[in-house]
Amino acid sequence: MPTSRREFLAQSSFGVLAAAASPLAAQQPDHPSSSPAPATPSTASPAGQPPAFGTAPAVGPPVTPATFAEAEKLVQFEMSSNDRALAASNWRMQMAPLYELRVGPRKLALEPTLAPATLWNPLLPGIQKLPSANEFVRSTNSSDPLPAAEEQIAFAPVTHLSRWIEARQLTSERLTNIYLSRLERFNPRLRCVITLTREHALEQARRADSEIAAGHYRGPLHGIPWGAKDLLDTAGIPTTYGAEPYRDRVPRTDAAVVQRLNEAGAVLVAKLSLGALALNDIWFGGQTMNPWLLEEGSSGSSAGPGSATAAGLVGFAIGSETGGSIVSPSMRCGVTGLRPTFGRVARTGAMTLCWSLDKLGPMTRCVEDTMLILNAISGPDTGDLGSVPSQLAFHAGADVAGLRIGYFPAWMKEAPATEVDRTALETVRRLGMVPVEVSLPDWPYDSLDLILFAEAAAAFEELTLSHQVDQLKSQVPDAWPNIFRQSRFLSAVDFVQSDRLRRKVAIEMERIFSSVDLLLVPSLRDEMLVISNFTGHPSLTFRAGFVEISEARSDWAPDPNHPLPKFSPPRRVPYGVTLIGRLFDEGTIAQAGMALEKAFKVARENPPGF
């Protein structure tokens, strides 16, 4: 029997999978149910005998029926006393050898870039990918003159900045210096910057100005300063994942998205913060704060992109999402976040959290900006097996009248929906779009997170086994270190069942989209955050109004020992709504989003003090 809690946990990890594997054990002959005897591999087999389960040399620590009795509590799977005895009888010959990849003797290191053999394809068989052809029409030249105040220039959307640069009213070097100055000035309050790339940025800006002066204008991102969530590799520039074990990591090559933005002429001014290993908003430099309310975090994990974009410290930013990391900081910081369809934007050179869930997308100050950036970063790359060719159809002046907007009536009447969500639904009607009631089955959608936890724990297995994960600043129960360790005890059988549920949910979403063009949902509705991330549908989150709050918000589970600040009188903060689109149909949600954004008339207000 184990002599310590640590030894018990080590032994019981083998017991978890046994619960699911017991039917195989039960099929083995010559093991009376009353008193099973340990299986012994045969030393000599007759010619032509096939291999059999349970005949490997015994390995691993001893297990007993009591081991299985305790393990049952972890996987919520009950066995009879006879079942436990049978499972224990040959566990070391039948199941324990399966861990050889990790425990040896023939250990095999898996490269961080090695993806699983199974790929998630969001498109169901027989479903035609939309749209069928490329079409990209941006808005006509803005008549807005170049402001005299640098603050107003800094907060201008890319749609305006690009026109001023194209017309040579504004140089990239001047704009870059404006943002570099603001990053240095405001970062101590926001903690949104991990690495400022001053010299690199000025070199890129001067090159952009030279090219534009020579008549070589690359397009709307040429000369525009931007910030990268610090999980995108940048050659010769630290890429830290916001985590202590990686703070000195310097990649040799650029991520595919960085390379495409370089080709578009964009100027990288900063590597922006993220919650360590892409969770929430705390990194090794502290907590990134919300410019609208400095007493609360920015949310995450695209914390720096949300905070810096809201504060006018960059022209735009690139964030990432696995389960809400673009939606949530966009909502809290009052910016616009586009989470593209899974597979549209190649993730080569980006930190892997979950192979079947990670997505990269733009965070901006207006809806059209997201499309200018998506147009530049879309496309597959051989380094990302999940990336696929796709078309992008967007017309900034498209008529949205007649678009069918699905909504869930019950969701609009209860938290987390607010009056802003209900007003948005009325605005849909006023603009000539057609609200359509839709519904989803009452299924256990959070069971899908078993996939997220298992993939994340696999991606950072070595960090966990080496105990380097213990260096992370956040060591609370809902932080990655604990989740990675707990995930070792998840059932492999339940992983497969969750994956099957994922396909079933995708079929339901296809049913819904057979009758609507897009969905309007409360941004932080848990069911839709989970569903749409696992199915891979695109989303657009953008400011729709303001609400008043009496307590700071947090991504973390409530901690009675660390209560959140309370406010009296309440504080006014931005609030966004979210549109969910059909697969690869980002153009439609952007067109509807532009119409709603214009009607809401709240996008141009900036956080006080910045």
Q: Which residues are tagged catalytic?
A: 229, 301, 325
Length of the chain counted residue by residue: 610
Contact yes or no for 164/170 (Cβ under 8 A):
yes
Pairwise CA distance, residues 62 & 11, whole Å: 8
Q: Is 425 helix (H, G, I), strand (E, B) or coil?
A: helix
Report the alpha-carbon distance of residue 482 to residue 244 in Å, rounded.
Answer: 16
Contact 350, 320 (CB under 8 A): yes
The CA angle 184-331-244, to the nearest 5 degrees, is: 50
CA distance 392 to 219: 17
What one-character DSSP code corresponds to residue 549? Answer: E
Q: What is the SS3 assignment for 117?
A: coil
**CA distances for 296 relative to 15, 302, 568, 594, angstroms:** 43, 15, 15, 29
Name the 3-class secondary structure at 190: helix
Q: How far is 158 from 302, CA to CA, in rounded Å?
A: 20
Residue 338 main-chain phi, psi, to 5 deg:
-110, 120
- Interatomic CA distance for residues 89 and 62, integer angstroms: 10
Under 8 Å between Cβ of 70 and 15: yes
Q: Whole-angstrom Cα distance, residue 526 to residue 416?
A: 9
Sign of the Cα pseudo-torsion (464, 467, 472, 478, in order):
positive
Residue 319 contacts residue 278 (beta carbons within 8 Å): no
Q: Please choose, from the candidates 235, 154, 228, the residue with its C-alpha nearest in 3D space to the C-alpha of residue 194.
A: 228
Residue 294 φ then ψ, to 5°: -70, -5
Q: Which CA distances in Å does 150 have to 144, 163, 183? A: 15, 16, 13
- Tell me if 187 sits within 8 A of 195, measured CB to CB: no
Helices (H), 350-392: 367-377
Tokens linked to 246: 């990686």
Pinpoint the alpha helices (H) of 437-543.
449-459, 461-465, 480-486, 492-513, 526-535
Which residues lie below 8 Å from residue 388, measured CB to CB, with a gap of 6+? 343, 344, 380
Amino acid letter, residue 297: G
Beta bridge partners of 576: 543
Residue 498 corresponds to which amino acid? S
Residues 305, 318 contacting (CB under 8 angstroms): yes
The alpha-carbon radius of gyration of the chain (Å, integer) is 26
Task: In whole angstroms, give the CA distance from residue 469 to residue 424.
Answer: 43
